[in-house]
Structure 1
């Protein structure tokens, strides 16, 4: 399994124009949450695929190790059989010597077959090892990107809430500007001033009425004096005695 086949869908998501998606989304928070879920699911899928790739590599490595070990064992058997054939040949037992030489040849053939299998597997093991290393690195990077995506999601959601709160404050301020409560207070103040003016007017009227009453008392005093003096004249009493 290639790295591209595992990370193909994730790469498409990473290349998406997130800003454009957010601009067109009715609810950016839901879109961000969906992106986090999708990315998390893709990581889980990648982990499963990578685990399978690693499992296949380990099986290849086990088979390779078995072939190498088998080649060594068959080599030892060939050596033992060849030594036994030489021993029989020295003893003049040609038939037994030929038998063990044939066994040595069979062991050498098995050794060669195991070595060839190991040689054929080596390039594939090296290639798969490189693939697994790159997949592990890619998976680590993906997990780092997921952390960044989650952090960015939280930041954008917080900024959206802050903007909405500020918008509410601005709307409230606009409402205050449109319906200014101080205008009602001003009208009440005018009413109070008119009432105060009315009271002042009443006070002035009251003061004017009191002055008129005092003036009438003065006039009455003078009239009384005049009447007394007139009576004195009529009685023939001198005016100078009136003061006594």
Structure 2
């Protein structure tokens, strides 16, 4: 079973449990990341054991190859001494060692293939984990924002805000009434400053009235003079 098939089974089982309990997305994301981290630790441990097994098998193969070479040398020595029987026995041992090395070679190839797949899946899992962690903050931020908006919507729909604004309007009306009462006490009462201000205003009006009269008088005088001149001209 590959890393991701096993990891998917773990995640699916936990996500189903979460959905059954109606957990929030933040907890779900944290659980997924935790499962990915735990799986990554297990995979790295398995990789270390596989690498150790590869080294052990490689060591056994090298030992058998050395043993095969040694029996080859012994067979040659026996032939040089005209001991065909010993040479034959040495070649048999050489064949056994070579066959054992070949069998372990096939096992080593299987281990290397599995290790290659394991390392590839581990790399993919590390990338997925890094991506999940980078997106975790965004997901949590979006969830918090949505929760805040939901609370605001609930408050607005519940009428709480409208009720509060209604109280504000009541307070404003009460203050308006109090201000009206204060202004009512001041009706008919003039301070010394008000009196002088009134005198100044009256003085300005009188000055403007005198200036207007003078202006109008000047216009009347000019009009009379023009009329008199015209009359004399007609008589002449």
Structure 1 length normalisation: TM-score? 0.62
Contact map agreement 1:7 1:46 (CA 8 A) in 2: no
Alpha-carbon distance between aligned partners in 1 of 2:116 and 2:125, rounded to the nearest angstrom: 14
Q: Residue 179 of structure 1 aligns to a residue in which SS?
A: helix
Say whether residues 1:195 and 2:211 are aligned partners.
no
Highest CA radius of gyration, 1 or 2? 1
Change (3 A) 1:140 1:62: same
Q: Residue 76 of structure 2 aligns to a residue in which SS?
A: helix
Residues 194-232 of structure 1: per-residue CA shift (max 9 Å, x gap):
4324533678xxxxxxxxxxxxxxxxxxxxxxxxxxxxx
Contact map agreement 1:61 1:125 (CA 8 A) in 2: yes
In structure 1, stretches of 5+ residues that fail to align are 86-99, 204-244
Say whether residues 1:139 and 2:132 are aligned partners.
no
Quote the residue 2:78 is aligned against.
81
Alpha-carbon distance between aligned partners in 2 of 1:191 and 1:201, rounded to the nearest angstrom: 18
Q: Residue 64 of structure 1 aligns to a residue in which SS?
A: helix
Alpha-carbon distance between aligned partners in 2 of 1:65 and 1:49, rounded to the nearest angstrom: 24
CA RMSD of aligned residues (A): 3.3
Quote the residue 2:47 is aligned against.
50
Alpha-carbon distance between aligned partners in 2 of 1:129 and 1:187, rounded to the nearest angstrom: 87
Q: How many residues align?
A: 186
Q: Which residue among 59, 63, 68 is the counterpart of 1:62?
A: 59
Quote the residue 1:184 is aligned against.
171
How far off is 1:122 after superposition? 2.2
Answer 1 or 2: higher relative contact order, Cα 8 Å, separation at least 6. Answer: 2
Residues 2-35 of structure 1: per-residue CA shift (max 9 Å, x gap):
xx16554302245679699569633433333233
Alpha-carbon distance between aligned partners in 1 of 2:16 and 2:170, rounded to the nearest angstrom: 46
Q: Which residue among 29, 34, 59 is the counterpart of 1:37?
A: 34
Q: Which residue among 111, 119, 123 is the counterpart of 2:102?
A: 119
